[in-house]
Amino acid sequence: MTSKIKLLDEKLINQIAAGEVVERPASIVKELIENSIDANANQIVVEVDRSGEEKIRITDDGVGMSKEDAILCLERHATSKIATLEDLKNIKSMGFRGEALASIASVSKMKINTKRRGENVGTELFIDGGKLEYVKDKGIPEGTVLEIRELFFNTPARKKFLKSDNVEYQNILDVIINAALAYPEIAFKLIKDQRPIFDLPKARDLLMRIRAVLGKNISDDMIDVFYGGVNMKMTGFIGKPSIARASKNLQYFFVNNRPIKSHVLSYAVKQAYHSLIPKERNPVFVINFDLSPELVDVNVHPRKSEVKFKDEREIFRILTSASKKALEINILAPKFSYDQPSNFYQEKRPEGIAEQLNFNEVKERKHALVQSDQKNDQMAVASETKYNPVTEVSNEKSFLDEEIEVIGQFDDSFIICKKGENLVLIDQHAAHERVRFEMLKSEDESKEKVIQNLLTPISFELNHQDMDILNSNKAVFESIGVSIEHF
């Protein structure tokens, strides 16, 4: 009887493994950046052509490899990072499985240029679909350049799974932004289709890096969070309620500098905001947990994007309580001002807020939407009811739902209302935005657009993700009469 079971050859094994590790161009970028980080690079340059399908090239100034190591690194389970089971339980590096390069090489054409620090001559290797074509000496700078071309050329089924260039590019951008936020001390450069996208110098601290990556609008409104325990330390920043967003795309969570996706932990941070942000908004945060290795298993996911905590409840508790504390100190502490007469009842606005709020004011006057949980539905009524911009604070019932009575205004920001036994606070700015939004929407539907050009254009800064969203929605803005130019 002949056996039906066969041992697969090495090349096929690598291609199968590649299915797990090398899902898409972004996963390659992630593996290669992690290798550069593990090689102690000070600077990492990422170049992608056609969103990585045509070319991915990562250049670092890290420790480099000797010729022997450069040949060995292509073998499956070849790693310089762990040697024993003890090491596996104590992982300090980003990589540890020794399978990324073997997998990537098996589904692409890969060129490696590498030179060890302090050595005279470097090495060039070329691997075609997993087969080492040549190795030669080469005079090159210290560090490593890994170039991947024709990704998935020999696995057409995988190639078919790739999404549009834009989606693949977004994923790559996400990987680089995560790495840049996890390692502010490393300089990162991104070049897309030969055009520089960003050049992040080595940052003094995380906040400086947040500013460079997420923009000043975000970094100006971040508050720092801290928790220090024996085996775990939490550091980072959470956004003030005013910059909470509709999406969760500005939530960065790291465990020992490893980017982790976790709905549970995202929820833990949101808990801390309680009623400071409406239910459907999501806080911005960049948080790193430093845990001693025995408290976390990083070896549970093929692309290492999930981890298993020994005690997730404890992490959850710390996240919520440290964030809450930071918010209490920075947001909830009452602001007293003795030199200001208490005139907020009498103060009347001469014109409608619509005319009064210019762009800078809008930026400056970001206030939290304060409301208790039971009153959510009332707030929803107050925004959704159409009314003229508030011209003055009065006891008139006209501009809101009949049952809501306006009793005053606070700090030029909140409209104080009474509804039965309940106190309702309306964020004037948020309500105003909503009214404008509804106006634009109904204009768009009715096709009766009233467009007035601004005397002086407004310039503003955007982070890379928002820039991309803007670019892909330019037509929408144009259609509602907002013309935007890159500057």
Residues lying near Mg ion in the complex (CB under 5 A) are found at 35, 95, 100
Nearer to ligand ADP, 132 or 482 (CB): 132
Q: How far is the CB of 374 from Mg ion (least distance, A)?
A: 51
End-to-end Cα, the chain, rounded Å? 74
State which residue has the least CB distance to ligand ADP: 95
Q: Is 27 in the site for ligand ADP (CB under 6 A)?
A: no
Q: By the 8 A CB rule, do 476 and 468 touch?
A: no
Quick one: which of 36, 106, 113, 242 contacts ligand ADP (CB under 6 A)? 36
User: In three state form, how does the secondary structure of the chain look?
Assistant: CCCCCCCCCHHHHHHHHHHHHCCCHHHHHHHHHHHHHHCCCCEEEEEEEHHHCCEEEEEECCCCCCHHHHHHCCCCCCCCCCCCHHHHCCCCCCCCCCCHHHHHHHCCEEEEEEECCCCCCEEEEEEECCEEEEEEEECCCCEEEEEEECCCCCCHHHHHCCCCHHHHHHHHHHHHHHHHHHCCCCEEEEEECCEEEEEECCCCCHHHHHHHHHCHHHHCCEEEEEEECCCEEEEEEEECHHHCECCCCCEEEEECCEECCCHHHHHHHHHHHHHHCCCCCECCEEEEEEECHHHEECCCCCCCCCCEECCHHHHHHHHHHHHHHHHHHHHHCCCCCCCCCCCCCCCCCCCCHHHHCCHHHHHHCCCCCCCCHHHHHHHHHHHHCCCCCCCCCCCCCCCCCCCCEEEEEECCCEEEEEECCEEEEEEHHHHHHHHHHHHHHHHHHHCCCCCCCCCCCCCCCCCHHHHHHHHHCHHHHHHCCCCCCCC
Nearer to ligand ADP, 117 or 163 (CB): 117
Site for ligand ADP, residues 89 to 128, rule: CB under 6 A: 95-101
Task: List 134's β-bridge partners, or say none.
Answer: 126
CB hemisphere CA count around 79 (13 angstroms): 18
Length of the chain: 487
Contact of residue 389 among ligand ADP, Mg ion, none (CB under 5-8 Å per partner type): none
- Among the listed ranges 30-38, 126-134, 195-203, 356-364, the one in contact with ligand ADP (CB under 6 A) is 30-38
Contact of residue 63 among Mg ion, ligand ADP, none (CB under 5-8 Å per partner type): ligand ADP
Nearer to ligand ADP, 14 or 178 (CB): 14
Q: How far is the CB of 146 from Mg ion (least distance, A)?
A: 11
Q: How far is the CB of 36 from Mg ion (least distance, A)?
A: 9
Nearer to Mg ion, 70 or 390 (CB): 70
Contact of residue 64 among Mg ion, ligand ADP, none (CB under 5-8 Å per partner type): ligand ADP
Quick one: which of 73, 400, 424, 425 contacts ligand ADP (CB under 6 A)? 73
Site for ligand ADP, residues 194 to 223, rule: CB under 6 A: none
Nearer to ligand ADP, 151 or 326 (CB): 151
Q: How far is the CB of 143 from ligand ADP (least distance, A)?
A: 7
Nearer to ligand ADP, 35 or 378 (CB): 35
Q: Is 327 in the site for ligand ADP (CB under 6 A)?
A: no
Q: How far is the CB of 95 from Mg ion (least distance, A)?
A: 3
- Among the listed ranges 31-39, 134-142, 390-398, 408-416, the one in contact with ligand ADP (CB under 6 A) is 31-39
Contact of residue 60 among ligand ADP, Mg ion, none (CB under 5-8 Å per partner type): ligand ADP
Q: Is 303 in the site for ligand ADP (CB under 6 A)?
A: no
Q: By the 8 A CB rule, do 371 and 379 touch?
A: yes
Quick one: which of 15, 79, 108, 409 contacts ligand ADP (CB under 6 A)? 79
Q: Is 144 in the site for ligand ADP (CB under 6 A)?
A: yes
Q: How far is the CB of 78 from ligand ADP (least distance, A)?
A: 6
Quick one: which of 18, 28, 56, 65 contacts ligand ADP (CB under 6 A)? 65
Q: How many residues bind ligand ADP (CB under 6 A)?
A: 22
Query: In angstroms, rounded to a whole number, what is the distance separating the alpha carbons of residues 337 and 296?
Result: 48
Q: Is 31 in the site for ligand ADP (CB under 6 A)?
A: yes
Q: Is 62 in the site for ligand ADP (CB under 6 A)?
A: yes
Nearer to ligand ADP, 70 or 431 (CB): 70
Exposed/middle/buried for 195, CB within 10 Å: 0-12, 13-18, 19+?
exposed
Q: Is 64 in the site for ligand ADP (CB under 6 A)?
A: yes
Q: How far is the CB of 8 from ligand ADP (least distance, A)?
A: 19
Residue whose token pair is 């808990």 = 271
Contact of residue 268 among Mg ion, ligand ADP, none (CB under 5-8 Å per partner type): none
- Footprint of ligand ADP (CB under 6 A): 31, 35-36, 39, 60, 62-65, 73, 78-81, 95-101, 144
